[in-house]
């Protein structure tokens, strides 16, 4: 049922760090109350409606604590679920299940929350050509997890970090003196990387178009200006809309004809999805 059971090393490292942060030298409460040989069965349930994502991450959390834990997903990854639906059955040593519980639910709740919000944006632009992108506005240390969540919700990832794409923003342009100068320096200094430039006006769009960048970021433009940018570029370069995009405004933006819409809120403002672990015996 799980789509990406082979998690990237970055996420495995995050899981180990989260477990170390929570467990430290040992689970004082559980280890004091529960005999080492005790076993139990439990279930993870949804406590709201939304998109469930990250079951494979939760499974790895449990199995890093104890490789003998049996984790059985009951729903498909990326499914829209309803309140009180059973998401997974978990069994094994009681100490292991109780010690891993909070970390597993923290990851599952965060990933599902981001996926749920992302799915809402994706559905809002259905029927247009616009693709929903995330940004670098992720939780420090959790970028790989946050961007996985966006993909699970149906969005796509923008650049992963500062290293895999050139994005010439307003401060770079102001420092260099112009889009043209900044682009020339970036092309020489980071050969082989795709270059995107931020445009604050239609004049900036025209300048960026003449120097052959691969993508233009339309920063906080009105829908009317975005539509004009689409007309000016006429498909010669990909256009990305950005700046305070909401569920209320995203459809109008998409209908201007832009190729991408980046939404920082996907990762910086998503509400954690409510899940819980219940004892079954």
Task: Give 156's contacts (C-beta < 8 A, 6+ positions apart).
Answer: 131, 132, 133, 134, 150
Half-sphere exposure of 19 (CA within 13 A, CB side): 22
Measure the CA–CA gap between 186 and 182, rounded to whole angstroms.
6
Catalytic: 129? no
Asked whether 209 and 237 are in contact (CB, 8 A), the reply is yes
Catalytic: 72? no
Measure the CA–CA gap between 189 and 156, rounded to whole angstroms.
27
In sign, the C-alpha dihedral spanning 199, 205, 211, 214 is positive
In the set 10, 136, 137, 255, the catalytic residue is 137
Measure the CA–CA gap between 233 and 206, rounded to whole angstroms.
8
Counted residue by residue, the chain has a size of 281
In the set 198, 204, 240, 259, the catalytic residue is 198
Catalytic: 187? no
In the set 102, 185, 200, 238, the catalytic residue is 102
User: In angstroms, what CA-CA distances link 110 with 145, 179, 211?
Assistant: 9, 38, 41
Strand, coil or helix: 269: coil
Tell me the residue ranges of DSSP E strands in 74-134: 80-81, 86-93, 131-133
Measure the CA–CA gap between 189 and 187, rounded to whole angstroms.
6
Catalytic: 151? no
Task: Give 174's contacts (C-beta < 8 A, 6+ positions apart).
Answer: none
In the set 159, 169, 200, 251, the catalytic residue is 169
Catalytic: 102? yes
So which residues are the catalytic ones? 102, 137, 169, 198, 219
């Amino acid at each position: 049922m799980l789509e990406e059971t082979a998690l990237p090393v970055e996420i495995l490292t995050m899981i180990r760090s989260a477990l170390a942060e929570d467990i430290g030298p040992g689970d004082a409460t559980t280890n004091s109350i529960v005999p080492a040989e005790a076993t139990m069965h439990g279930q993870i349930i949804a406590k709201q409606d939304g998109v469930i994502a990250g079951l494979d991450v939760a499974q790895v959390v449990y199995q890093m604590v104890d490789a003998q834990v049996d984790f059985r997903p009951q729903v498909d990854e990326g499914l829209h679920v309803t309140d009180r639906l059973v998401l997974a059955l978990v069994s094994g040593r009681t100490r292991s299940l109780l010690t891993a519980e909070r970390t597993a639910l923290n990851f599952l709740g965060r990933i599902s929350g981001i996926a749920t919000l992302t799915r809402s944006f994706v559905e809002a632009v259905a029927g247009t050509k616009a693709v929903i992108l995330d940004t670098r506005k992720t939780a420090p240390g959790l970028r790989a997890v946050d961007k996985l969540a966006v993909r699970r919700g149906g969005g796509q990832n923008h650049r992963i970090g500062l290293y895999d794409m050139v994005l010439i923003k307003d401060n770079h342009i102001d420092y260099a003196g112009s889009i043209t100068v900044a682009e020339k320096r970036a092309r020489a200094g980071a050969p082989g990387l795709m270059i995107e430039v931020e445009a604050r006006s239609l004049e900036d769009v025209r300048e960026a178009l003449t120097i052959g960048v691969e993508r233009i970021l339309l920063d906080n433009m009105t829908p009317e200006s975005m539509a004009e940018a689409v007309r000016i570029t006429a498909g010669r370069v990909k256009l990305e809309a950005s700046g305070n995009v909401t569920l209320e405004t995203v459809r109008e933006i998409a209908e201007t004809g832009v190729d991408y819409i980046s939404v920082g809120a996907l990762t910086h403002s998503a509400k954690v999805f409510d899940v819980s672990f219940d004892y079954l015996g």
